[in-house]
C-alpha cells in the first residue's frame, strides 16, 4: 500500500465503509498532494464513496449476461428482502445495495460483490440466504464457503495451458524467438510484443517499469481471472523475463478490484517468488473500466483519476512516472513465458498468417458450457458455438460492449487480427432474446464508464444512453434511431478508444435486428 493514494483510499473505504472528508484532507496532507487530487480519486473510482455505505455493501453485477440470467429480478428481491432502495443505505446502516459493471463472473452469473468479494451462481434461495445472514449481522467471512467459490470452467486447453519446461531463453535471444513466433499483444490491439519490449529497452530513462494489465473490464471477459488463478507463476515469470530484457527493477500487477477475492492467492504466489532483482507489487483497481486503457492504467498506478493520456508519447518511452514502461496483458506475459520455455516453434505453427498462436476466449450467454476456451487463431464463430453447446443462436457479440455484434450470416467469420480482433469476450444470444436489452445495457455501460475527459464521449455516451432508455421504454422516436447512428461520426472524435467505439455495438444491433427496436418507437 505504502504511499500510493489509491491503495490508501481503498483501505480507508474498507475500514470505514466510506472515505470521510476528513480522511481526504489527511491523506492529501500526509502525501503532500493537493486535496483536489485525493477528492478526485474518491469521486472517480466507483468503489470509493464519500457517503457512508452500509456494513454490508452489495453491488450486483449488471452485465448483459447477468441480466440474461435474471440479475435484475434478484436485485429487486434483495432490495425487497432488506427493505432498501437501490443505492440508498438503510437507515440503520446495515446495508447498501447498488449495481456495478460486469464483475467477470459471466460464466457463473448472476454475481454480486459483498464488501468487495464476489459471490456467483446467485439464485432466489441464495439471495434469501444472504439477506438472512446480513440481517443476523454475520460477517461475510463466516458465510458458507460455497458462496464464494469461483469456478474456472476451463473447457478447452491448448498451447498456453501446456507445461512448457524447456531451457529458458532470455534477452536478445528471447526477443528474436518472440519475433519469430509472431507474438502480438493479446489485449486486442495486437502490437508485436518483442518490438514493444525492445522499444522500452532502447528508450532513454533512469528507470524502467514492467506493468501487467489485469484490469479486464470488457463485459463478458474473464480469462485473466482464470489465468491469475491457474498461471500466476507463469505470469510473474513472463513479467520477470520482460524486466530482465528491458532492464526494469520494479513491476506492477494491476488487478481489477472485482477480483479482490484473489488477493491471498496472488500474495502467496508473489511471496513464493525468489527474485531480488525484480520486485512485483500488486495494485488494485477500484471500479473503473477505463483503467484497462494502458495510459489510464498508468495514471491510476500513479494514484490519479484514470484519464487516458495524450499519446504520443507512448508508455514505452514515457510510461509510469515518465519512465519507459512495458504494459502488457496477462495472457501476453503468459505467452511470452511459454515461448521462452520452448513453446515458440509450436506457437508459430498455430493460427493464421497474421495471427500466430492461440487465444483464450471467454464464452458466456446462451450456451450449455460457458467458460474458457483456448483456440488457435482463425477459429470460426460457428465452431465456437458448436463447442460451447449453443443452439438456436440469434447473435454473437464478439469483443464485449466495444466489439461487434454478428448475426447468423456472419458466423463463418474468424477470430484473428485480420477478421475479428478481440480481447476474448464472446457472448451468445439465442432467438428468445430481445437485442434491445443488450443495446440498452451496453449504452448504459459506456455512459457509466466514460471518464468524462473529452466532450464527445462525456456527452455523446449520455445522449446515446438516453435515446436507448426512451426506446426501451417504448417512448423512442425515429429521431432517436437516426441519432444513435449519427453519433458514431462524432464519437470518433473522442480522446480514446472507449468513446470511439461506444456506439458500435448498438449501431450494429439496430442495423441487423431492426425488428427488435420497432416496438420502442412511436
Partner 1 sequence: MKTVSLDGAVVPFAEGQTVMECALAANISIPHLCFLPGFLPHGSCRLCTVKIDGRLASACTQPAMAGQHVEIDTEELRQVRLSLLRMLFVEGNHYCPACEKSGSCRLQKAAYDEGMLDLHYRPWYPKRKMDASHPDVLIDRDRCIFCELCVKASRDVDGKNIFGISGRGIDTHLVVNSKSGLLADTDISAQDRAVEVCPVGAILVKGRGFEIPIGKRLYD
Give contact residues for partner 1 (rule: CB under 8 A).
21, 25, 34-37, 39-40, 43-44, 46, 288, 305, 310, 312, 447-456, 458-463, 466, 489-490, 492-495
192-213: buried (b, 16+ CB within 10 Å) or exposed (e) per residue? ebbebbbbbbebebeebbbbbb
Give me the least distance between CB of 149 and partner 1, in Å please. Answer: 33
Residue 192 DSSP class: B
Question: Which residue lies nearer to partner 1 by CB, 2 or 32?
Answer: 32
Question: Which residue lies nearer to partner 1 by CB, 433 or 444?
Answer: 444
Question: Which residue lies nearer to partner 1 by CB, 188 or 308?
Answer: 308
Give me the least distance between CB of 399 and partner 1, in Å please. Answer: 20
Give me the least distance between CB of 456 and partner 1, in Å please. Answer: 6
Question: Which residue lies nearer to partner 1 by CB, 228 or 297?
Answer: 297
Question: Which residue lies nearer to partner 1 by CB, 35 or 173?
Answer: 35
The three grid cell numbers given for residue 311, joined into one nine-digit string: 499519446
Q: How far apart are CA 117 and CA 495, in angstroms?
A: 33
4-30: buried (b, 16+ CB within 10 Å) or exposed (e) per residue? bbbbbbbebbeeebbbeeebbeebbee
The three grid cell numbers given for residue 250, joined into one nine-digit string: 520494479
The three grid cell numbers given for residue 1, joined into one nine-digit string: 500500500
Which stretches within 145-231 are classed as H helix? 171-181, 193-202, 223-230
Question: Which residue lies nearer to partner 1 by CB, 224 or 449?
Answer: 449
Question: How many angstroms from the chain centroid is the CA of residue 156?
Answer: 21
Distances (CA, A) of 266 to 82, 236, 340, 371: 34, 10, 22, 22
How open is the CA angle 515-219-408, to the nearest 5 degrees? Answer: 40
Give me the least distance between CB of 170 and partner 1, in Å please. Answer: 35
Helix (H, G, I), strand (E, B) or coil at 199: helix
Give me the least distance between CB of 88 and partner 1, in Å please. Answer: 17
Question: Which residue lies nearer to partner 1 by CB, 288 or 388?
Answer: 288
Give me the least distance between CB of 261 and partner 1, in Å please. Answer: 25
Q: Name beta bridge partners: 365.
A: 428
The three grid cell numbers given for residue 377, joined into one nine-digit string: 487463431
Give me the least distance between CB of 215 and partner 1, in Å please. Answer: 15
Q: Name beta bridge partners: 10.
A: none
Amino acid at each position: 500500500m505504502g504511499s500510493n493514494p489509491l491503495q490508501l483510499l481503498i483501505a480507508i473505504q474498507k475500514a470505514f465503509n466510506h472515505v470521510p472528508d476528513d480522511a481526504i484532507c489527511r491523506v492529501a496532507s500526509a502525501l503532500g498532494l493537493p486535496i483536489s487530487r485525493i477528492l478526485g480519486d474518491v469521486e472517480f473510482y466507483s468503489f470509493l464513496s464519500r457517503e457512508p455505505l452500509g456494513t454490508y455493501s452489495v453491488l450486483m453485477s449488471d452485465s448483459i449476461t447477468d441480466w440474461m440470467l435474471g440479475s435484475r429480478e434478484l436485485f429487486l428481491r434483495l432490495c425487497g428482502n432488506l427493505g432498501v432502495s437501490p443505492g440508498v443505505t438503510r437507515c440503520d446502516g446495515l446495508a447498501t445495495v447498488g449495481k456495478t459493471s460486469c464483475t467477470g463472473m459471466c460464466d457463473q452469473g448472476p454475481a454480486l460483490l459483498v464488501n468487495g468479494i464476489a459471490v456467483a451462481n446467485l439464485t432466489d434461495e441464495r439471495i434469501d440466504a444472504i439477506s438472512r445472514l446480513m440481517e443476523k449481522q454475520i460477517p461475510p467471512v463466516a458465510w458458507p464457503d460455497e458462496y464464494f467459490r469461483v469456478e474456472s470452467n476451463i473447457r478447452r486447453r491448448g498451447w498456453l495451458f501446456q507445461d512448457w519446461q524447456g531451457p529458458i531463453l532470455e534477452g536478445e535471444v528471447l526477443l528474436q524467438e518472440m519475433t519469430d513466433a509472431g507474438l502480438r499483444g493479446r489485449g486486442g490491439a495486437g502490437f508485436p510484443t518483442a518490438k514493444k519490449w525492445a522499444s522500452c529497452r532502447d528508450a532513454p530513462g533512469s528507470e524502467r517499469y514492467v506493468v501487467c494489465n489485469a484490469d479486464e473490464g470488457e463485459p463478458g471477459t474473464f480469462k485473466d481471472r482464470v489465468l491469475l488463478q491457474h498461471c500466476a507463476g507463469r505470469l510473474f515469470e513472463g513479467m520477470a523475463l520482460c524486466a530482465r530484457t528491458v532492464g526494469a527493477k520494479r513491476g506492477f500487477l494491476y488487478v481489477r478490484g472485482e477480483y479482490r477475492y484473489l488477493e491471498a492467492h496472488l500474495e502467496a504466489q508473489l511471496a513464493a517468488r525468489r527474485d531480488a532483482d525484480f520486485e512485483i507489487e500488486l495494485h488494485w483497481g477500484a471500479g473503473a473500466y477505463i483503467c484497462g486503457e494502458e495510459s489510464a492504467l498508468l495514471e491510476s498506478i500513479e494514484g490519479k483519476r484514470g484519464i487516458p493520456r495524450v499519446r504520443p508519447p507512448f508508455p514505452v518511452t514515457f510510461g509510469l512516472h515518465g519512465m519507459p514502461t512495458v504494459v502488457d496483458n496477462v495472457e501476453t506475459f503468459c505467452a511470452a513465458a511459454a515461448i521462452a520455455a520452448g513453446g515458440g516453434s509450436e506457437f508459430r505453427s498455430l493460427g493464421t498468417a497474421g495471427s500466430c498462436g492461440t487465444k483464450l476466449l471467454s464464452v458466456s450467454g446462451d450456451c450449455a458450457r460457458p467458460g474458457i476456451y483456448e483456440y488457435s487463431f482463425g477459429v470460426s464463430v460457428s465452431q465456437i458455438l458448436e463447442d460451447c453447446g449453443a443452439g438456436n443462436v440469434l447473435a454473437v457479440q464478439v469483443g464485449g460492449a466495444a466489439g461487434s455484434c454478428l448475426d447468423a450470416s456472419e458466423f463463418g467469420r474468424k477470430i484473428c487480427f485480420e477478421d475479428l480482433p478481440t480481447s476474448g469476450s464472446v457472448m451468445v444470444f439465442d432467438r428468445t432474446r430481445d437485442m434491445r436489452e443488450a443495446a440498452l445495457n451496453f449504452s448504459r455501460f459506456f455512459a457509466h464508464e466514460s471518464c468524462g475527459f473529452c466532450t464527445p464521449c462525456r456527452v455523446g455516451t449520455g445522449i446515446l444512453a438516453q435515446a436507448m432508455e426512451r426506446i426501451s421504454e417504448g417512448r423512442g422516436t425515429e429521431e432517436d434511431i437516426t441519432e444513435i447512428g449519427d453519433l458514431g461520426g462524432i464519437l470518433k472524435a473522442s480522446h480514446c478508444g472507449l468513446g470511439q467505439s461506444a456506439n458500435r455495438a448498438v449501431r450494429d444491433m439496430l442495423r441487423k435486428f431492426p425488428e427488435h427496436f420497432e416496438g420502442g418507437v412511436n
